[in-house]
C-alpha cells in the first residue's frame, strides 16, 4: 500500500471516529435528559436530585472534549469557506444576540445552582422578546454562527452532527414542555416557528403575556 493510500485510509478512519464520538455524545446527553431516567434517579436517590442539573451540565461540557479534540486534530483541506466580509459580521451579530438574550434567562437556574439552593427547578413558561419570533433562539443563533464558519471535512461532520442533534433535541424538549405546560405550549408552538422567523407567526407582547398566564394557571 502506498503512503498516499495509507494517509487516505487514516483520514477516513479519523472522520469515522469523529462521527461515532458525536453520536455517542448525543445518545448519552439525550438519555440523561430523559424524564424516565430522572424519575428513576429521583426515586432511588431523592436527596441528590437537587444537584442533578449542575452535574448534568458538567458532564455535558466534559463529554464535549473528546469529539472536539478529534475534530480539531484533523488537518484535511477546507471544504466550506466564507469571505470575511460575510462571516465576521454574522459572528459578531450572533454573539451579541446571545449576550442580549441572557437578560431574560435565569443563569443560576440554567447552571443548576438555584436547584442546589432551593431543591426546585424553574417551572414557569417565559416568552422573551426573542422567543416571540422563534421558539428556540439559542439554537437558531448557534446554527447561524456555526454554518457561517469555514470547515474542513471534520468540522463539516461536526456541523452536521450538531445540527441533527439540535433537531432531535427540539423534538424531545418540546414533548416535555407540552407535558409541563399543556395547551399554553401547544398554542405557542402553533403560533411561533421553531428556528426561522416567519411572517404571521410572531407573537405580540400581549399574546406572549397571555400565554405565560395560561401556562401559570394550568400548573398544579
Domain ranges in the chain are 3-218
Long-range contacts of 80-83 (CB under 8 A, 24+ apart): 80/149, 80/150, 80/151, 80/155, 80/156, 81/150, 82/148, 82/149, 82/150
Q: Round to whole Å and give the CA distance between 142 and 101.
A: 13
Query: Is the confidence at residue 23, as pLDDT, over 70?
Result: yes
Higher pLDDT, 76 or 46: 76
27-38 average pLDDT score? 88
77-89 average pLDDT score? 94
φ and ψ at residue 27, rounded to 5 degrees: -65, -50
Q: What percent of the chain has pLDDT over 90?
A: 63
Q: Round to whole Å and give the CA distance between 115 and 101.
A: 22
Question: If pLDDT is split at 50, 70 and 90, which confidence band does 7 have?
Answer: very low
What per-residue confidence (pLDDT) applies to 205? 95
Query: Is the confidence at residue 17, as pLDDT, over 80?
Result: yes
118-129 average pLDDT score? 77
Mean pLDDT for all residues in the chain: 87
* Residue-wise pLDDT tens digits, 34-54: 888 888 888 888 777 788 888
Q: Round to whole Å and give the CA distance between 186 and 177.
A: 9
Query: Is the confidence at residue 118, as pLDDT, over 70?
Result: no
Query: Is the confidence at residue 4, as pLDDT, over 50?
Result: no
What per-residue confidence (pLDDT) applies to 47? 75
* Residue-wise pLDDT tens digits, 93-117: 999 999 999 888 776 677 766 677 6
* Residue-wise pLDDT tens digits, 159-183: 999 999 999 999 999 999 998 899 9
φ and ψ at residue 200, rounded to 5 degrees: 85, -5
Query: Is the confidence at residue 56, as pLDDT, over 50?
Result: yes
User: Both ends of the chain: CA-CA distance in Å?
Assistant: 68
Q: Which of 36-50, 85-99, 126-140 has the lowest mean pLDDT?
A: 36-50
Q: What percent of the chain has pLDDT over 70?
A: 87
What per-residue confidence (pLDDT) applies to 3? 46
The set of cell numbers assigned to 24 is 455517542
Amino acid at each position: 500500500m502506498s503512503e498516499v493510500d495509507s494517509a487516505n485510509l487514516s483520514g477516513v478512519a479519523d472522520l469515522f471516529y469523529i462521527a461515532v464520538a458525536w453520536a455517542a455524545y448525543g445518545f448519552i446527553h439525550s438519555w440523561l435528559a430523559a424524564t424516565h431516567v430522572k424519575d428513576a434517579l429521583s426515586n432511588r436517590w431523592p436527596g441528590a436530585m437537587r444537584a442533578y442539573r449542575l452535574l448534568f451540565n458538567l458532564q455535558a461540557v466534559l463529554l464535549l472534549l473528546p469529539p472536539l479534540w478529534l475534530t480539531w486534530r484533523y488537518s484535511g483541506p477546507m471544504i466550506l469557506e466564507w469571505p470575511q466580509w460575510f462571516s465576521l459580521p454574522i459572528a459578531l451579530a450572533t454573539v451579541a444576540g446571545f449576550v442580549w438574550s441572557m437578560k431574560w434567562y435565569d443563569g443560576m437556574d440554567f447552571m443548576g445552582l438555584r436547584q442546589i439552593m432551593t431543591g426546585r427547578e424553574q417551572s414557569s413558561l417565559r416568552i422573551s422578546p426573542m422567543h416571540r419570533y422563534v421558539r428556540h433562539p439559542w439554537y437558531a443563533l448557534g446554527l447561524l454562527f456555526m454554518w457561517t464558519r469555514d470547515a474542513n471535512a471534520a468540522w463539516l461532520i461536526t456541523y452536521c452532527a450538531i445540527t441533527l442533534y439540535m433537531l432531535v433535541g427540539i423534538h424531545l424538549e418540546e414533548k416535555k414542555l407540552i407535558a409541563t405546560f399543556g395547551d399554553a405550549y401547544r398554542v405557542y408552538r402553533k403560533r411561533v416557528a421553531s428556528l426561522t422567523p416567519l411572517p404571521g407567526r410572531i407573537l405580540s407582547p400581549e399574546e406572549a403575556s397571555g400565554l405565560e398566564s395560561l401556562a401559570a394557571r394550568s400548573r398544579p
